[in-house]
Amino acid sequence: MRWLAFAILAYLVIAIQMALAGFINYGIASPNLVLPIAVFIAINARREDALIAVFILGVLQDLFTVQPLGLYAFSYGLVGLFVVGARPAVYRDHPLTHLFVTLVGGLVTGAVVLLNEWAYPILHHAIDTPKPSVSLALAAAAYSAILAPLLLAPLARIKWIFGFRTLRATAPGARHLRAAGRS
């Protein structure tokens, strides 16, 4: 993976997430634009690079939200583990793959955030904290999943910029074909 290209993408998506906060809401649903990018990286990058990159995206999102530091890093790490494990079973560039994997990632992230919102007042004896909203988490996950194919279609066309290996290069037996000079 080319880390400079990843850094530019991470910077852009965090800036767009911050700039559009409140403007692209649909009712109560506010999309998470960083999550589809984390899914894109986790689907296409090598396992180690993918897990490091989604963790970095989570830390960056933590720095620009009011959530405790590490909450999104942890949840994106879980999403990254799920996506890396599911990679052999999915078609990486299909829009439905992007939609469903982002939906599952949004549900995992929503569950982690809801658990934090439920536990925080108990652990810190805070009285005036708002109650966690399951419907808000579900709506945000669905909205992020709907936007995922729109965000990831252009990235799928230029994924060579990030230095991701093609499916042909990672297919079983590809090393033997290259060694025999037939690649």
Domains and CATH numbers, the chain: 3-173 (1.10.1760)
Q: What is the pLDDT of residues 58-68, one digit of tens each?
A: 999 999 988 88
- Lowest average pLDDT, out of 10-14, 52-56, 78-82, 120-124, goes to 120-124
Query: Would you state the pLDDT for residue 169?
Result: 47
Q: What is the pLDDT of residues 115-153, one digit of tens each?
A: 998 887 788 777 777 777 888 899 999 999 999 999 999
Q: What is the pLDDT of residues 31-58, one digit of tens each?
A: 999 999 999 999 999 999 999 999 999 9
**Residues whose CB is less than 8 angstroms from the CB of residue 72 and which lie 6 or more positions away in sequence, other chains included:** 34, 57, 58, 59, 61, 62, 65, 109
Rounded to whole angstroms, the Cα distance separating 67 from 121 reads 13
pTM to 2 decimals? 0.85
Helix (H, G, I), strand (E, B) or coil at 19: helix
**Cα dist from 139 to 15, 27, 146, whole Å:** 22, 9, 11
* pLDDT higher than 70, residue 170: no
